Chain A
Amino acid sequence: MSRKLLRNVGVPLLSLLVLGGLWQAIVVGFHIAPYIAPRPMQAIDAVTSNWSTLWPLALGTIRETVYGFLVGAALGVFFGVIMAKVPVLQRSVYPVLVLSQAVPIIALAPPLVLILGFGVTPKIVIVAWIVFFPVTVNVVDGLSHVDQDLVNLARVYGAPRWRTFLQIEVPATTTPLFSGLKIGATYAVTGAIIGEGASGSYGSSLALYQVHANSNLDAAAVYGTTMLMTAIGITWFLLVVATEVAVTPWQRRSVARQPLRRRGVASAGEGTSIGSTPLKGES
């Protein structure tokens, strides 16, 4: 167990440390001026020493990222399902969705701010705009590759379509769904920062904090803010991965855990006695 933990957590941490070491070596080795690039510890220090200012701003970015992601994921699943189920919609809606992704998101942000104001709404819209697409693409692919023999088997049993959808098609799509969600999760924070940047000098946000630090030639704060934004993105990605691990136990385990609740049956006594008692009665 501890070996597994070491491999899953230790190795990624080690590669982060190597990356930091490389950064340090380049800055020191090439005598890079501190107003161009700080050392890693200076950047980290610029975050921790200004934590009381940065944390509320980060909280704002987290909120935009999470809300936007959830809206985008819901939209992505919705579009994915209707397009997979209605061929006419796939032919008519899919091109529009592809078009939506061809619009440079940086160019989309200013008009959205004009329409929706300087609040949290345009940021959520931008994040959702970015997140929904990989989710939709993967859900459409997943649903259209469900084993038709399995769907036919459900039909032979006389299953209504909605039950087949919930019991067969939805679980069969978990892996592609989470592929889409993971791609969306890595992009989500980017969308939030673009939205913040498009709000001009109005309000306060991580993006504006960085712009100010940049105009003050405070490289440590600029790099530190970038690291903080990245940390938000990574944390959200890891939360999505953790959710996937939690809802897909069959991908790692060969035996299911004992269920927390099992209506009625558990109270009748668990284990082999259940299987063998009626057997004796019948033979």
Chain B
Amino acid sequence: MAATLLALRDVTKRFGEATALAPTNLEIAEGSFVAIVGPSGCGKSTLFNVIAGLLRPDAGEVRLEGELVTGATGHVGYMLQKDLLVPWRTVEDNITMAARLTRRVTNADRLEARRVATEYGLGEFLRHYPSALSGGMRQRVALMRTLVTHQPLLLLDEPFGALDAQTRLEMQQWLLRVWRDTGRTVLFITHDVDESLFLADRVLVMSPRPGRVVADFANPLSRPRTMETLTDPIFIELKSQVMRLLHGGQR
């Protein structure tokens, strides 16, 4: 069993009267790919913002590699559905953005940006501005920008939510390749059950009012995952279990 990378202990967050996140305990193993599914308003993004340090929890603590990081930033890679590429920088300069925001950009940063972009098929677009790229390419640049921060934990909040189905499937496969190549730990928010089961080793289901984790599934589907995975009986069975949890109250 791999070591624990991230540990949450009794993390709680309220906004006024509403409990956005009920006391939550969570351990994420190093190198794992964990998906969080849940309807909107279930506290997924609040959980992410607490882990990223953007929100300070009302109670509880966040530990990364054993170190207390509650309410502190600068410890994780973070990516949203919006690519958040800055239009005034080229692809290369967008990839090196984290370095530019924290220190001087070095030649090593630029070389790495070029290496990553070349390796993942955007080598010819290094000097392009983001406006010249398609949605899928922009998300890829955003993920590269997240990768070169060298943070062990990547928080991806519905990164492919705005893409069309075709591009989305390509991006999912590409993300799995990047994950395998780099050995990072990924925490992936989605409200798409198929996506969570296709990508992750472990699927957490959250439910709203108050936001909390209601189920924790291990996903035994073998890797590499392909199109066939989507029709595997185990996949179908897991999917129906997760769906029952998500929509159980409405039936």
Chain A residues in contact with chain B, CB under 8 A? 147, 149-150, 152-160, 163-164, 167-168, 171-172, 174, 248, 250, 253-256, 258, 263-265, 268, 272, 274-276, 278-279, 282
Contacts and interface: CB of A to CB of B under 8 A. Distances in A.
Contact of A152 (B54, B90, B100, B111): B54
B102 A157 contact: yes
Contacts of B126: 275
B210 interface: no
Interface of B: 52-54, 73-76, 78, 80, 82, 84, 86-90, 97-98, 100-102, 107, 110-111, 114-115, 117-119, 123, 126-129, 131-132, 149
Given A156-B52, A268-B107, A274-B114, A250 B149 contact: no
B115 A164 contact: no
B146 to A, nearest CB: 10
B91 to A, nearest CB: 9
A275 B114 contact: yes
- For the complex, would chain A's binding face be called helix, strand, loop or mixed by DSSP majority? helix
Contacts of A275: 114-115, 117-118, 123, 126
A157 B129 contact: no
Contact of A157 (B117, B128, B149): B149
Contact of A253 (B107, B111, B114, B129): B129
23 contacts: A154-B101, A156-B76, A157-B74, A157-B97, A157-B98, A157-B149, A158-B102, A164-B101, A168-B101, A174-B88, A250-B87, A250-B89, A254-B128, A255-B127, A256-B90, A265-B110, A265-B111, A274-B111, A275-B114, A276-B118, A278-B115, A279-B115, A279-B118
Nearest to B77: A156
B115 A156 contact: no
Contact of A159 (B52, B88, B102, B110): B102
Contact of B101 (A152, A157, A258, A263): A157
Contacts of B100: 163, 167
A156 B88 contact: no
